[in-house]
Amino acid sequence: MPAQRTAEGVPTIYHVATAAGVSIATVSRVLNGHAKIRPATEERVLAAVRELGYVPNAAAQGLSKGLKRILGLVFANPWWHDDPLSIEETNLLFADTVIRGAQWNADRHGYSLLLLSSGVTRIGHGALFGDVIGKVDGLVLLDRVVRQERVAPIAKRVPVVLLAGSGRSRSAVTVRVDNAGAMWLLAEHLVLHHGMRRTAFVGGLPDSPDNLARLEAFERAVRELGGTCEPAERWSADWTSPGAARVVRRRLEDKRRQPEAIVCANDQMAIGAMHALATAGLRVPDDVAVAGFDDIPVSAYLSPPLTTIRQPMRELGAAAVESLVKRLEGVALDSREVVLPTKLIVRESCGCQAGASEVGEATLPSRMLADGARSALSETVA
């Protein structure tokens, strides 16, 4: 037996073996539960493990087993010092909540989640995200972190799941929400229920697939229902409250008749829009109705409470991990695309009255669920 090789203070399997008077193979067996071990032996090994505070070196395990049990999630994580205006980052809550869902489910499956960012240093510069790809068994790519054509080469090396992507990738699985169904519901509520005809849609970053899907679906739905939606160019923002506030203020200076309803591609922008309206002396929803998308926690606590689309952000992260894990364990995926359902949460910013409950909340099932959509939630959290 090569005895203890490490000079460092960190105990290895050799130390444990020596201390327990067995071979390293036996230690490994005890720790991994394979094979039958004599109880007395097992006890000695475990005692040694405890005594030394031994924890296996995951790098060695990964090398030996060919599985690192680490999943990567790539998101946009800029530092903001260059741009004081972006203190409130692009869709902050969305990414963070997705991350939480992904971490949670990875953990459940015995994997850990490695957080990777696009945009700051080496990542994204070299091909294949630099070397970080070598650290993971699979990758979740958030919306917009990588261009369409860059996905294939990455997917050649590790399984990839696209989160909130356009869903048009051959090489990777896509997980997203039912944006179109959501916007239809909202348009119906505004146009049919409240009788509003003139609307506007405050968009997030223009190249975001989610933003595009929401915009197109909303415009189309409103038009088909007999209403109008102001030209998107004039209402394009950047997912942030200040950005949306700016857009709304600019429109307010224009003295033509204002829209009756302003729908925003996320809740943060709805908050910015409401702020701009309030500052201009307009009341929500009496003068203008406002709606958002996401249903972030504060939305229920705004005045007025925000009518919005709830998307299962956490489940989105969990579902992405779920299909990655399935792929790694050799389970066949039944679809290249997972579409999670959304809900219309009716509160007061659209003109409805507060319900009996503390936080008024009406829930309609999403119709128009895309083909192949199932509740990945029940799948995931089973």
Residues in contact with DNA by CB under 7 A are: 1-2, 5-6, 8, 10, 12-14, 21-29, 31-32, 34-38, 40-42, 54-57, 60-61, 63-66, 134
Q: Which stretch binds a second copy (CB under 8 A): 101-109, 208-216, 225-233, 342-350?
A: 101-109
Give yes or no for residue 115 binding a second copy (CB under 8 A): yes
Taking CB under 8 A as the criterion, the residue among 199, 268, 307, 323 binding a second copy is: 268
Task: Give SS3 for 167.
Answer: coil
Burial of residue 188 (CB within 10 Å: 0-12, 13-18, 19+) is middle
84's contact among a second copy, DNA, none, with CB below 5 to 8 A by partner kind, is none
CB closer to DNA out of 56 and 130 = 56
Q: Which stretch binds a second copy (CB under 8 A): 54-62, 230-238, 335-343, 363-371?
A: 54-62
Q: Which stretch binds a second copy (CB under 8 A): 61-69, 286-294, 330-338, 361-369?
A: 61-69
Q: Which stretch binds a second copy (CB under 8 A): 185-193, 202-210, 230-238, 292-300?
A: 292-300
* Strand partners for 102: none
Task: Print burial letters for 308-339: b (CB count within 10 Å at least 16), e (below 16).
Answer: bbbbbbbbbbbbbbbbbbbbbeeeeeeeebbb
Give yes or no for residue 61 binding a second copy (CB under 8 A): yes
CB closer to a second copy out of 219 and 315 = 315
Burial of residue 98 (CB within 10 Å: 0-12, 13-18, 19+) is buried
State how beta strands 173-177 and 337-340 pair.
parallel
Q: Nearest-CA neighbor of 141 among 174, 189, 101?
A: 174
Q: Which residue has the tokens 């989640």?
A: 113
Looking at the chain, which runs of residues are DSSP E strands?
70-76, 112-118, 138-142, 160-163, 173-177, 198-202, 228-229, 261-264, 289-294, 307-310, 337-340, 343-346, 362-364
CB closer to DNA out of 6 and 148 = 6
Q: Which stretch binds a second copy (CB under 8 A): 39-47, 126-134, 202-210, 221-229?
A: 126-134
14's contact among DNA, a second copy, none, with CB below 5 to 8 A by partner kind, is DNA
5's contact among DNA, a second copy, none, with CB below 5 to 8 A by partner kind, is DNA
CA distance 216 to 266: 15
25's contact among a second copy, DNA, none, with CB below 5 to 8 A by partner kind, is DNA
Closest approach, Cβ 342 to a second copy, in A, equals: 16
CA distance 167 to 265: 19
Dihedral of CA 23/24/28/34: which sign? Answer: negative
38's contact among DNA, a second copy, none, with CB below 5 to 8 A by partner kind, is DNA
Give yes or no for residue 92 binding a second copy (CB under 8 A): yes
CB closer to DNA out of 131 and 287 = 131
Give yes or no for residue 122 binding a second copy (CB under 8 A): yes
355's contact among a second copy, DNA, none, with CB below 5 to 8 A by partner kind, is none
Give yes or no for residue 275 binding a second copy (CB under 8 A): yes
Closest approach, Cβ 337 to DNA, in A, equals: 32
Crossing angle (nearest 10°) for helices 267-279 and 241-253:
40
Give yes or no for residue 125 binding a second copy (CB under 8 A): no
CB closer to DNA out of 17 and 186 = 17
Closest approach, Cβ 44 to DNA, in A, equals: 9
Q: How many residues does the chain have?
A: 382
> Half-sphere exposure of residue 116, counting CA atoms within 13 Å on the CB side?
28
- The 8-class DSSP code of residue 159 comes to -
Taking CB under 8 A as the criterion, the residue among 1, 84, 121, 332 binding a second copy is: 121
Task: Give SS3 for 59.
Answer: helix
Give yes or no for residue 160 binding a second copy (CB under 8 A): no
